[in-house]
Amino acid sequence: MLKKYIRIYIECIKISISTALTYRLNFLLDNFIMLVSNILFPLFTLLIYGSGAEFPNWSLYEVLLIQAVFTMSTGIANILFNGVLWATMRHIIEGSLEIVLIKPVDCLFFLTASTIEFSSIGLFLGGLVIFVVALPYIGPVSILMVLQFIVLFLSGVCVMMGISFIMAATSFKWVGNSRIPEIFESIKYFGRYPQNIFHKVISGFTSFIIPVAMVGYFPAASLLGKADATAFIAILPCFLFAMAGVFLFRHMIRLYEGVGG
């Protein structure tokens, strides 16, 4: 069973790469624009520090590191999960979800696998560039810190997965609303900045309820030696959040009634 799913997933990756190679100039240009626009993303922070102001107790490069991690996580999540919302939305509008439902594989798995798209690799690389630029300016990094970073980063990717699935589930009811991602984009915005600048209620919300702090802040804090117990306690809500996304999507599938697509 698992073997079959892995084989399907690998096939989907191959197809996605072939598609990207077919329109390679478009693919390269898209990625180049995305890379440039994401190197510009920390401009806001740069301008604040350039004007002589700062986030108290945070150096410029420490804040840039948070934003770099956030961008890398977004890049990976976009490659792996971003297509689910748009594919689901299209199927709901066109009434063609039945075609997916009659396939002998899990519907959510199939939608996720078949919509892998490498056009966000520029996003990941943009984040990586900022990450590499910021890294020499932070203190020494131990192996333990790197391990913590990997665990927290993967938890952050889980949160992004949960968000994608919840958005896709929402599109069952809120049909054809292309602004659904904006709602979650605005919530994710909290994860781009040091959490101690926010009110305790908000940072509690962004750590444990919709744990967007795990997307950028907590993994970066672990590399800076600033990760406290909260970061590790917040790992559990991240996995629960991802599971909630899966359950919500499955629930919406159960409620779904075909209308003759």
Point out which residues bind another protein (CB under 8 A): 29-30, 33, 37, 40, 43-44, 47-48, 50-56, 174, 176-180, 182-183, 185-187, 189-190, 193, 197-199, 202
Contact 117, 16 (CB under 8 A): yes
Cβ distance to another protein smaller for residue 179 or 254: 179
Cβ distance to another protein smaller for residue 181 or 225: 181
Minimal distance, residue 40 CB to another protein, in Å: 7
Q: Which residue has the tokens 């898209």?
A: 30
Between the alpha carbon of residue 15 and those of residues 10, 11, 18, the distances in Å are 9, 6, 5
Cβ distance to another protein smaller for residue 94 or 182: 182
Minimal distance, residue 13 CB to another protein, in Å: 25
The token pair at 170 is 């929402």
Minimal distance, residue 47 CB to another protein, in Å: 4
CA distance 172 to 175: 6
Cβ distance to another protein smaller for residue 174 or 232: 174
The token pair at 11 is 């096939």
Minimal distance, residue 43 CB to another protein, in Å: 7
Between the alpha carbon of residue 44 and those of residues 50, 124, 174, 181, the distances in Å are 10, 19, 33, 22
Residues in the chain: 261
Minimal distance, residue 92 CB to another protein, in Å: 15
Minimal distance, residue 142 CB to another protein, in Å: 29
The token pair at 101 is 């439902």
Distance, CA of 232 to chain centre: 19
Cβ distance to another protein smaller for residue 189 or 247: 189
For the chain, first and last CA: distance in Å?
A: 29
Cβ distance to another protein smaller for residue 5 or 55: 55
